A and B are shown apart, each in its own frame.
Chain A
Amino acid sequence: NAGVTQTPKFQVLKTGQSMTLQCAQDMNHNSMYWYRQDPGMGLRLIYYSASEGTTDKGEVPNGYNVSRLNKREFSLRLESAAPSQTSVYFCASSEGRNTGELFFGEGSRLTVL
């Protein structure tokens, strides 16, 4: 039972480099989310996708792009990484339709130098 799988788990980037965080879920969930977690700031929503084919901005979308490739996969791209994007990134999925229960991946720790 894989649940929500994120890759990579750790990544170090230099300022200006680009990278994509991958996320896949095997629970046939409709909704998928990307959050970032910084000390004392809780989890802040970057982008979410309420269903396949749709994406919407969250609280902190600047500097990020997303793709809902299919129902299973939701990727997060940093086109030109900045030190302010150093964070732990969590992908999550939900059945949707206001069920509320998010299932989280293990997180990806990103450091931008």
Chain B
Amino acid sequence: GQQLNQSPQSMFIQEGEDVSMNCTSSSIFNTWLWYKQDPGEGPVLLIALYKAGELTSNGRLTAQFGITRKDSFLNISASIPSDVGIYFCAGQLWDDKIIFGKGTRLHILP
């Protein structure tokens, strides 16, 4: 079955640092998605990528859809305390099935 391999599992960074995380899969996805989950809430969409090779920014966030449609990365620049949370990559197949990676838990050190 389809699987998304997300890394790293967790990150400890200083406020102001840049962050990079990525996802890979052996399957080809139609759409690639990045979500963030705050404690006690459901995930919220950060960025959606629809075209192979697409590079998209949303404020301090930048994400790219791999040219083979099998991978993606998410970068966060100049991290701030509210960036703390769990970041998930997700892939959508042509039949609207959406599966998630295991997440990257971001911690910001005081």
Contact = CB atoms under 8 A, between A and B. Distances in A.
A98 B103 contact: no
A104 B97 contact: no
Interface bracket on A: 20 to 34
A106 B41 contact: yes
B85 interface: no
B63 interface: no
Nearest to B101: A42
Interface bracket on B: 20 to 34
Contacts of B98: 33, 45, 48, 94, 100, 102
B11 interface: no
A100 B42 contact: no
B66 interface: no
Nearest to B92: A100
B31 interface: yes
A58 B45 contact: no
Interface string A61-104: 00000000000000000000000000000101010111111101
Contacts of B102: 40-42
